[in-house]
Amino acid sequence: MKEMLAQAPAWVCWVAQDNSGAWWGYSVEPLRNDSGWYENEVGRCIRLGMTAPDDWEHSLRSRPAAG
């Protein structure tokens, strides 16, 4: 996950994995649904990569502030 975040656009402030193993970056804090996360029609999202699913329900992390 850290490698994907390092490659993510600067606007990505949150990352989370869905139940398929895909990692997503979000500009605003996403909401969880039955199989992943969604941006609730505000902000942007981008697929960052794929790893084996691992406790995706608790994968949401904020990006550390620069500096």
Model pTM score = 0.88
Query: Which H helix or E strand runs over 39?
Result: none
Q: What angle do CA 54, 40, 48 make, to 5 degrees?
A: 40
Mean pLDDT score across all residues of the chain: 90
Residues 47-57 have pLDDT tens digits of 999 999 989 99
| pLDDT attached to residue 66 | 62
Q: How far apart are the first and last CA of the chain?
A: 20
Q: Please count the other Cβ atoms lying within 10 Å of the Cβ belonging to residue 43.
A: 15
Pairing of β 31-32 and β 37-38: antiparallel
